[in-house]
């Protein structure tokens, strides 16, 4: 089965639709949370995601904040402005969809979590130290995470008892390590100084991972963000990828 892996769409329907058009054929889609927050199209993104084939989707911290399940004081002032805008913009049906998303999903070979398998909603896996601890918190060979908006692979070689970290090469199919935590990067707000949308293709039969990048119409999204009155800093950052 060919699975499209997407994460951190952040209410950017232009980036999402570009990814869906460029991904080729896929049998299922696994979405790693943060469908909303920052961007101008929360309802459009939720409508699109819920219609995808074989969809498995978990909740992210921005989705929880949009549902007022998290104290928005823990976000910086601009993020808070965007959260309040999202809360007001969400349709009832979007809200119900987000409310039913689980924090973690365990499939045959893969666990899905937004931040980390230890603290699914909040923890950032940015270094090998945090990643090493995380390997004790999932039982499947692989775990897919988002949240950092950075494409990354942490793998665990049992003889070392410490995780190693690699940044995968774009558009290259690689065998997944025996035991690893993989991050496809962010569809709607990449933070590795490359503004192109990021996603991955996971093949459940051949056990391969291909992380990919695709350009989308950033200007169109920036126009909609300005119209919506979203913070200028968030408008700027999607063009630069930070
Ligand atoms: Zn995010």
Domains of the chain: 2-240 (3.60.21.10)
Instruction: List, in order, residues 6 or more apart from 198 with CB less than 8 Å away.
Output: 151, 184, 185, 186, 187, 190, 192, 211, 212, 213
pLDDT of residue 161: 80
Mean predicted lDDT score pLDDT of the chain: 95
Question: How far is the centre of ligand 1, averaged over its atoms, from the C-alpha of 173 (Å)?
Answer: 25
Tokens found for residue 230:
């979203």
Q: Which token pair is 103?
A: 């924090």
Q: What's the 31 CA to ligand 1 centre distance in angstroms?
A: 12
Confidence of residue 159 (pLDDT cuts 50, 70, 90): low
Rg of the chain (C-alpha set): 17
pTM of the model: 0.96
pLDDT bin (cut points 50, 70, 90) of residue 164 is: very high
What are the strands of the beta sheet with 163-166, ordered from one edge? Answer: 104-106, 110-113, 142-144, 180-183, 152-156, 163-166
- Categorize the per-residue pLDDT at 233 as very low, low, confident or very high, splitting at 50, 70 and 90: very high
| pLDDT tens-digit series, residues 30-89 | 999 999 999 999 999 999 999 999 999 999 999 999 998 877 777 788 888 999 999 999
How much distance in Å is there from the Cα of 196 to the middle of ligand 1? 15
Place of tokens 């390997």: 135
**pLDDT tens across 196-230, in order?**
999 999 999 999 999 999 999 999 999 999 999 99
DSSP assignment of 127-158 = SHHHHHHHGGG--SSEEE--SS---EEEEE-T
CA of 145 to the centre of ligand 1 (A): 11
Dihedral pair phi/psi, residue 89, rounded to 5°:
-85, -20
75 versus 190: which is more confidently predicted?
190
Tens of pLDDT along 118-154?
A: 999 999 999 999 999 999 999 999 999 999 999 999 9
Separation of CA 37 and ligand 1 centre (Å): 8
> Which is it for the CA torsion 19, 198, 95, 103, positive or negative?
positive
Q: What is the pLDDT of residues 1-43, one digit of tens each?
A: 999 999 999 999 999 999 999 999 999 999 999 999 999 999 9
**How close is the Cα of 160 to the center of ligand 1, in Å?**
31
| Separation of CA 8 and ligand 1 centre (Å) | 5
Residue with tokens 């910086």: 76
**pLDDT for residue 213:** 98
Residue 158 has pLDDT above 90, yes or no: no
What confidence score (pLDDT) does residue 30 get? 98
């Amino acid at each position: 089965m060919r699975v499209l892996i997407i994460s951190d769409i952040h209410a950017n329907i232009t980036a999402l639709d570009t990814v869906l058009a460029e991904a080729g054929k896929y049998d299922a889609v696994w979405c790693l949370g943060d469908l909303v927050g920052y961007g101008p199209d929360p309802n459009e993104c939720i409508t699109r995601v819920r219609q995808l084939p074989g969809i498995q989707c978990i909740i992210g911290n921005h989705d929880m904040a949009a549902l007022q399940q998290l104290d928005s004081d823990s976000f910086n002032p601009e993020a808070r402005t965007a959260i309040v805008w999202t809360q007001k913009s969400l349709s009832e049906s979007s809200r119900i969809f987000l409310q039913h998303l689980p924090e973690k999903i365990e499939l045959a070979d893969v666990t899905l979590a937004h931040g980390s398998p230890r603290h699914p909603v909040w923890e950032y896996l940015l270094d090998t130290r945090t990643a090493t601890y995380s390997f004790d918190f999932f039982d499947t060979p692989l775990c897919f995470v988002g949240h950092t908006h950075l494409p990354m692979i942490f793998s665990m070689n049992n003889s070392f008892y410490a995780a190693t970290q690699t940044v995968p090469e774009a558009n290259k199919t690689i065998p997944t390590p025996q035991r690893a935590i993989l991050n496809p990067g962010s569809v709607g707000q990449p933070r590795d100084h490359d503004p192109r949308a990021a996603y991955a293709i996971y093949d459940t039969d051949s056990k391969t991972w291909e992380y990919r990048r695709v350009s989308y119409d950033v200007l169109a999204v920036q126009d909609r963000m300005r119209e919506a009155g979203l913070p200028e800093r968030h408008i700027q950052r999607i063009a630069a990828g930070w």
